Chains A and B, each alone.
Chain A
């Protein structure tokens, strides 16, 4: 039962363009959503989060959008840089509880 789904296993984007990574969830109890970035041989690194009371959160080049009615969130990276090339995990938790449910990841490649 995959409660957090990332349906695109990979994405290639030209440097300077926008990268859009998508994520869907099924558990309506989720109220906190996160994106993590993972480089090979390293643990996931927290990128940005959003609470269910918001529909947008921005941090520099990274913006996360949440559509609760569609149970969908997306991560926008503008402009994309080669150093952004990594695997991006969408994750969610419920009720402030720190059990975090992860998606399967999307491998982003930013082409110089």
Chain B
């Protein structure tokens, strides 16, 4: 059973650019959630996808968007990057049931200059 993987591990972009981050869910998981963790903070919920549909969203602007594919892998897209978007982006997969534990990937470290 493979765990949650994310790519790339690190990324540097400039303000105004667009970025796509990728996540492969743990085998058998149909739900993926994305989190942003700024330095010194806890992870903040961005949104969740369940069977390719958005299933809830946190307080993030529309320039943060996502996709989930039939194989349950996922993408996080951020348009018009701002300096404050610099953070660790984590994805977590789970089985989708109430109270199901989320398993996190190692994250993608994004730096916006």
Contacts and interface: CB of A to CB of B under 8 A. Distances in A.
Do A and B originate from a single complex? yes
Interface of A: 4, 6, 32, 34, 36, 41-46, 49, 51, 89, 91, 96-105
Given A96-B98, A99-B45, A103-B42, A43 B33 contact: no
Nearest to B90: A43
Nearest to B31: A98
A86 B100 CA distance: 23
Interface string B86-113: 0000101010101111111111000000
B42 A98 contact: no
B99 A99 contact: no
14 contacts: A41-B106, A42-B106, A43-B90, A44-B104, A49-B99, A49-B101, A97-B56, A98-B31, A98-B48, A98-B56, A99-B45, A100-B102, A102-B35, A104-B41
Contacts of A49: 99, 101
A89 B94 contact: no
A81 B107 CA distance: 26
A34 B92 CA distance: 14
B40 A104 contact: yes
